[in-house]
Structures are given as C-alpha cells and as structure tokens.
Copies of this chain bind each other. A is one copy, B any other.
Amino acid sequence: MNILYDERVDGALPKVDKQALLTELRRQLPDLDILHSAEDLKPYECDGLSAYRTTPMLVVLPRQIEQVETLLKLCNRLKVPVVARGAGTGLSGGALPLEQGILLVMARFNRIREIDPAGRCARVQPGVRNLAISQAAAPHDLYYAPDPSSQIACSIGGNVAENAGGVHCLKYGLTVHNLLAVEIVTIEGERMTLGSDALDSPGFDLLALFTGSEGMLGVVVEVTVKLLPKPQVAKVLLASFASVEAAGRAVGDIIAEGIIPGGLEMMDNLAIRAAEDFIHAGYPVDAEAILLCELDGVEADVHADCDRVRAVLERAGASEVRLARDEAERVRFWAGRKNAFPAVGRLSPDYYCMDGTIPRRELPGVLQRIGELSGEFDLRVANVFHAGDGNMHPLILFDANQPGELERAEELGGKILELCVAVGGSITGEHGVGREKINQMCSQFNSDELTLFHAVKAAFDPERLLNPGKNIPTLHRCAEFGAMHIHAGQLPFPELERF
C-alpha cells in the first residue's frame, strides 16, 4: 500500500533523478552514509504506523551538523523533498518516507552534550532517547518530565517534532512546556537557535511554533530541555467502577477538588482484561473501568492528597479503591497501563489507535457515544487513555484480512475524531497529524485557518520541500475529502473559489 502522497489531490511532487542525486550527494558529501539498495531501504519504509508504507528513494545518516546543512542546501537547490526521522516510533505516519525524496535519519546524533544541574537543563543531540536524558540526569536527582509510552526507544528530536506527551504531562506539561531552546537547520541550510536559556524570548515565539510542527519547518540538530527535581515520593491509587461513564465523571471530580495528579489514566474492561492477561498487574478484571491516579511531591502533601482523592473516588461511586502497597506494586500498576497497547494488540490481528482530545467535562458523554458507535460498526473498541488531560486513545480492533474491516475501522475512527471536534476538542492529543489524520484536519480547520498555516509554512520553506503531504492539508485535498467543517458553525470553505 503506498498512500503517502495522494497526487490526485495534493498535486504531483517534482520527479527526481535518483542516480544524478546520488552522484551529487557523493560529490558534495563524500563522508555521508547513504543507503540506496532496495534491501537497505526496506527497514525505513514505515514508522510506528505500519499501515502506511513507502520505500524512500534514498536514506541518509549524517553524523555532523555541517552535513545536514550541506544536504538541505543541496535539496533546496535541486528541489528534492526531505523527510526527517528520529527513532521512527511515531504513531501518525509523520516520518513516512517519500518515493521521490530523501529520508534524513538523525539516529546518529545520539550524544548528551551537557547536564547542567545548577541551570536545571540538559543540552542533547536529537537522536538521544527520551529515557536516556532522565537516566543521565538521575545522579543529580533530576529528570526530564514528558514520558511517552515509547520513551525507552523514541528520540528527543522526534518528541520535539510531534510535541510528545505522556502519562505525566497532565501535571508537567507537553514537550513544548519542557524545552528551553532548539537549534535547527532550515531548508536553506542555515543554522539557527529558537528560544534561549532565559525565561522568555523577545520577538515571536518561534520555539513554540516549531515544536509539534512535524518536520515541516526545519530539522532539529540540538535540543536544550528543562530538568525537574525528582519528586520525593509517588503513590498510586487504583479505583474500580461499574461503568466507563462513572469513571469519566470521577476524573472531573478529582480535578474539581483542586488536585493535580502526576498521572490520571483510565482503562475500560476490554483493556483491563487484555493488560491483566499480558502483564499480571493485579487489575480487577470484572470492573467496567479503572482509574489509575498517581500523586507525587513531598511526603506530607502526597499523604494528604491520597486521602482526599480516595474520598472523591468513593463519592463518585468507585466499588473499590486500592493504594499500591509498595513501590513494586506501583510499578506493576503502571506496567499494565504502559503495555496496554501491545496487550490489546494480542486480542486481534490488527488495531487502530486513535488520539482525540476533548474537554474533560465531555468524557462521560463521549465514552458512551463511542460504545454506541462500536455497536453500530460491529467492531470492538478498547479505551485506555490519559483521562486527566481528556486525551483519549480508543483502540479499534479489526482484522485486515476480512474484506471491508479496514475500511470500516477507518470510518469508525473518523467518526470518533469528528465527535471529538464536535464537543470542542481536537483530532490529536499527542500522536500528531502526520499522514494519518491529514483529512480530519479539514474538519478541524476552515479555509482561512489552513491558508494561514500554509503562509507560516512558506515563511520557513517556500518550496514546500520539508515533509510534504503531512500535517497541513491543501485546500484542494479538503475539497476532495468533502469534510463538513464543524466548528464555529461555518460552512466548509466558503471562499474556496478564491484559490
């Protein structure tokens, strides 16, 4: 399946002469590692969203920033599209290659440049793994807060590109809230620093603009992240509920109590049973839903908050509330949650992971509607997600070998995302738009807004060579997709005739 770049709606990319490009690359960058045989290219044909696969024309693996500068300058001159890739763990196809383009793999930029305990920051290369930063900071009792489930493998450069979240981002923020600066190389081969060590930077906030831009504005070559002191103590409560709606309401009640948990996660019965079978976390397999609520901070505070949260959960109708007895049980509770995706994956030949975000107060209603949609489409849906953020991850189970099931799963996924937008939410929380959700962007944004996105893109990359076909759809694509633009009650694309 090669569905990356839908030429019918996005307009054809320029044709590139592979042999001429290879010759020019070798001439200008004799030390650059280049992969070009079908066999060598195969492992790079997809990222974590393996439903989408494209063999790249060439894969390059630079080691020095100067190589990236020269490469991008060359691509800009020859009009060769470039897709940058970190560890390839992304779940929305943001690093899906182009048949007519270069895949720029940043994996070899894997050095930690500096851990600065006094300044509470770390300066690292983009290929450094998320967890490796916390490991390097641990001797100073510091850590890097955003913790995507893939943190053992995913790289910080990819985290910046996707504005990655994680279990702890409810309290500690997304990637963008934990960055001080990024050094980038533009498509013109110019190196520049966005942000600074200081509190705030004058001029426009290009650091925030760049974070989550999915490789469309430049290539990250160095990242300075904030480090936080490790909390003295962390405790986890596990609460069982007789319905997903009741659990959803309890989430709002906890937040309304003025408590900000370190993590607040929800799993429904399908996810609970799958995780329990796989990890033996000690979950109550008869519960229709569980909440995992972590409280972290100083000892006295955490104890007091545990009591308050327990009271809230009981008032909200929890049939059982268990405090993890010790650190081993706490880790086990989280292991079940962090492995829930692969656990659900064992239930079905294929699954499709959604990533919608909704205002917290809408959780009970949206969970109920997802249950109804699951029935209507005759496909099982497991719910396991960052409840405190309203960041939902419905997993749609299907079998791609059954005719029509993939299409039905995709249609159901689309309905769920439109539901998220309709209640004031968004089509992505932390996985990004990538290739996967590009059509749903037409539901979320109107033509004025998309036009503005394209104008901002053009400020960085006027020839649209960086990761084309991802993140921001063309107006033409949206017209073809025929999405009803939902928010603000406007009609879709009233001004399309202008373009």
Contact = CB atoms under 8 A, between A and B. Distances in A.
Contacts of A449: 192, 203
Contacts of A359: 119, 197-198
Instruction: Indicate the member of A119, A211, A213, A441 with the most B CB atoms within 10 Å.
Output: A119
Interface residues on A, range: 35 or more
Contacts of A186: 448, 452
Contacts of A204: 209, 212-213, 217, 453, 456-457, 472
The 5 closest A-B pairs by CB, nearest first: A208-B208, A229-B258, A455-B459, A300-B300, A301-B301
Given A141-B258, A192-B452, A425-B196, A211 B202 contact: no
A488 B192 CA distance: 9
A201 to B, nearest CB: 6
B202 A441 contact: yes
Given A424-B197, A433-B203, A209 B212 contact: no
A193 interface: yes
Given A165-B200, A193-B488, A205-B208, 4 more contacts: A176-B208, A193-B487, A198-B420, A452-B460
A3 interface: no
A428 B197 CA distance: 13
A253 to B, nearest CB: 10
27 contacts: A117-B256, A118-B360, A120-B256, A163-B205, A176-B208, A192-B448, A192-B452, A193-B488, A196-B424, A197-B425, A198-B357, A198-B358, A198-B390, A198-B429, A200-B212, A202-B432, A202-B444, A203-B445, A204-B213, A204-B217, A205-B209, A206-B453, A208-B208, A298-B305, A455-B458, A456-B459, A459-B459
Contacts of A163: 200, 205
Interface in A291-309: 297-298, 300-301, 304-305
Most chain B beta carbons < 10 A, residue from A217, A359, A472: A359
A177 interface: yes
